[in-house]
A = this chain, B = another copy of it.
Amino acid sequence: MAHPHSEAVEDEATSERREAIVELGEALRDLVQHASATEAATADLRRVAALVRAATAPLADHPRGRTQMPSADDLLAGIRLYNPVTGAGSALAPPLHIEVVDGVVVGTCVLGLAYEGPPMYAHGGVSALLLDQLLGHVVSADGHPGLTVSLVTRYRAPVPLQTPLRLTGHVTGLNSRGAEASGIIATAADPEKALVEATASFASLRVDQAMRLFGAALHPDATDPAAAHD
């Protein structure tokens, strides 16, 4: 997205790119949900696979690497279009819509059949995924952004698919490393009845820790920390 013209022009290009990413994200989510819920004929599945491969080709021509942030994102402003839970550009995300009002974080989404674990209900791990994002959001909004240190998820009742869900949570305290929060998943129709509960604790990163973990992404010529795992 490097651009020789004014900042205003660059902003317009970024804005247009973000809109296109959202349009593609919506189309992908619709495809993903229908693909897990179709009884189309076998020959049609193979025909669609060919169409999907053709659609992939233009995207595959210009990949970003693991240490390269998406050009349309703005990490410091919290714009992460490909976040796998909330990202409007993500094919994996429901997406979960999150807002914080008076210290309470509220998330809303509908889970399609692609998220099925037990018949007719959401996979238990998907509930943990949603709650991790929700609680990470509220501690960040409270001024204590951090990485998840622990996530304790308790399942009271199965979470129905194709049903409007309402998630709520709040910060429960601070400790020496960061903040703690708890929250629930309920249906929009019965928002007080917890189907799943979670508590999580998050650790803020010191600057040296952040540089060690994310330095390669912030400065692409730095060492890739994944090498330390080998």
**Chain A residues within 8 Å of B, Cβ to Cβ:** 13, 16-17, 20-21, 23-28, 30-32, 34-56, 58-64, 66-67, 69-71, 75, 82-85, 89-92, 113-121, 123-126, 128-133, 136, 147-155, 158, 160-163, 187, 189-190, 213-214, 216-218, 224-226, 229-230
A94 to B107 CA separation, bound complex (whole angstroms): 25
Measured CA separation A71–B40 after assembly (Å)? 11
Given A20-B45, A38-B59, A130-B125, check contact A67 B114 (CB 8 Å). Answer: no
Interchain nearest-CB distance for A82 vs B (Å): 4
Please name all residues of chain B whose beta carbon is closer than 8 Å to the beta carbon of A132 when the two chains form the complex: 123-125, 128
B27 touches A123 (CB 8 A): no
9 cross-chain pairs, A with B, having the tightest CB-CB distances, nearest first: A125-B129, A125-B132, A128-B128, A51-B55, A124-B148, A119-B217, A20-B45, A38-B59, A27-B52
Option from B24, B50, B125, B147 in Cβ contact (under 8 Å) with A85? B125
Given A92-B115, A123-B85; A48-B31 close (CB under 8 Å): no
B-chain residues with CB within 8 Å of residue A23 when the two chains form the complex = 45-46, 49
